[in-house]
């Protein structure tokens, strides 16, 4: 990247974006729309006499090319099994391209809306496809992608915010003590040796586009992990509601895959790790000008006070019994 740019993405100008797409053999019509993405930069690009495409420019130095290609191979493996996963398009046999120092991938545009996760039909349908994803995910492990574990999602992000002094001095000891307690509890939850498989990894409702059924998008965080990681973010509401929802979800899931019921005890530990990791993610990206603009509330006294309070509530949630499978 040219040294004159304060952040690598500053060099990703509209001309660079369009030239990158045309380097794959497509002919752009000049239409360009930035989509809602912060970790990477994602754009809808108009194509002459064809449907628009979606182009993802990977954040420099986050993943190796081998890790990205493993993500692409998993997505294409799922799509070839007729699972509705939006996979990258291949040009001359490759799905990962490079232009002006940026690595990028091109995807077909997928229309859709947010899924209605309040109904049995929708959740059972989602469960069936997640069961199929996991049945294929269990066939072989990733060799390059990371594993969802306490070290990567708890130890590292919490250490980063402490070492870089994001935590206000007067809250540091409270945060440090609380994190140590939480991670000790979470480690004991992971000690049961649940099987690990290839996962979507970030299966929240925003990564599902509903169009006559679910379409799963954005496998950027695919990883090795316990199956329940792809299920719990689809649950919401009070405990009674979540137990009903997980029953509907698993009604469909069990048609194609097995799930050790003890994995339900990982839901609150995984939720806690996600909260810790999210704060660390914002801290690591704070030098990207897009982040202070989009998350102005982060790194304020109020933010860290609320974050510590939320983690204290999670400490209590970790002591509650897991959701029941009765349905």
Residues with a known catalytic role: 202, 218
Neighbours of 241 (CB within 10 A): 12
Helices (H) and strands (E) in the chain, counts: 10, 9
Check if the beta carbon of residue 24 is closer than 8 Å to that of residue 97: yes
Please state, in angstroms and as integers, the Cα–Cα distance from residue 205 to each residue in 2, 37, 67, 183, following that order: 38, 15, 24, 27
Longest dimension (CA), the chain: 60
What pairs with residue 224 in β-bridges? 147, 198
What pairs with residue 47 in β-bridges? 28, 50
Alpha carbons 242 and 264: distance in angstroms, whole number? 11
Q: Which residues have a Cβ under 8 Å from the Cβ of 304 and sit 6 or more positions away?
A: 166, 167, 168, 171, 175
Tell me which H or E stretch contains 81. none
Alpha carbons 278 and 283: distance in angstroms, whole number? 9
Alpha carbons 42 and 207: distance in angstroms, whole number? 14
Neighbours of 120 (CB within 10 A): 15
The three-class DSSP label of residue 255 is coil
How is residue 41 written in tokens?
Answer: 């930069």
Please state, in angstroms and as integers, the Cα–Cα distance from residue 81 to each residue in 74, 110, 129, following that order: 11, 18, 11
């Amino acid at each position: 990247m040219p040294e004159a740019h304060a952040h690598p993405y500053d060099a990703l100008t509209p001309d660079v974006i369009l030239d990158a797409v045309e380097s794959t053999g497509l002919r752009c019509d000049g239409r360009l729309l930035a989509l809602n993405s912060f970790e990477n930069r994602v754009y809808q690009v108009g194509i002459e006499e064809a449907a628009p495409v979606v182009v993802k420019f990977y954040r420099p130095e986050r993943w190796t090319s081998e890790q990205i290609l493993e993500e692409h191979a998993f997505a294409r493996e799922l799509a070839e099994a007729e699972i509705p996963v939006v996979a990258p398009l291949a040009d001359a046999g490759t799905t990962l391209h490079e232009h002006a120092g940026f690595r990028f991938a091109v995807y077909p545009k997928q229309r859709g809306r947010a899924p209605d996760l309040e109904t049995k039909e929708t959740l059972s349908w989602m469960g069936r496809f997640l069961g199929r994803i996991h049945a294929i995910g269990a066939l072989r492990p990733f060799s390059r992608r990371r594993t969802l574990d306490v070290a990567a999602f708890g130890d590292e992000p919490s250490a980063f915010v402490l070492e870089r002094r994001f935590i206000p001095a007067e809250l540091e000891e409270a945060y440090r003590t609380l994190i140590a307690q939480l991670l000790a509890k979470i480690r004991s939850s992971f000690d049961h040796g649940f099987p690990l498989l290839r996962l979507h990894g970030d299966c929240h409702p925003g990564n599902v586009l509903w169009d006559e059924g679910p379409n799963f998008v954005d496998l950027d965080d695919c990883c090795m992990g316990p199956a329940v990681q792809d299920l719990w973010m689809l649950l919401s509401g009070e405990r009674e509601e979540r137990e009903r929802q997980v029953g509907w979800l698993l009604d469909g899931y069990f048609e194609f895959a097995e799930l050790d019921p003890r994995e339900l005890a990982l839901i609150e530990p995984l939720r806690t790790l996600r909260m810790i990791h999210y704060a660390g993610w914002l801290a690591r990206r704070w030098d990207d000008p897009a982040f202070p603009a989009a998350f102005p509330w982060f790194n304020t006294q109020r933010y860290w006070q609320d974050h510590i309070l939320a983690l204290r509530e999670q400490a209590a949630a970790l002591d509650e019994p897991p959701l029941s499978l009765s349905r």
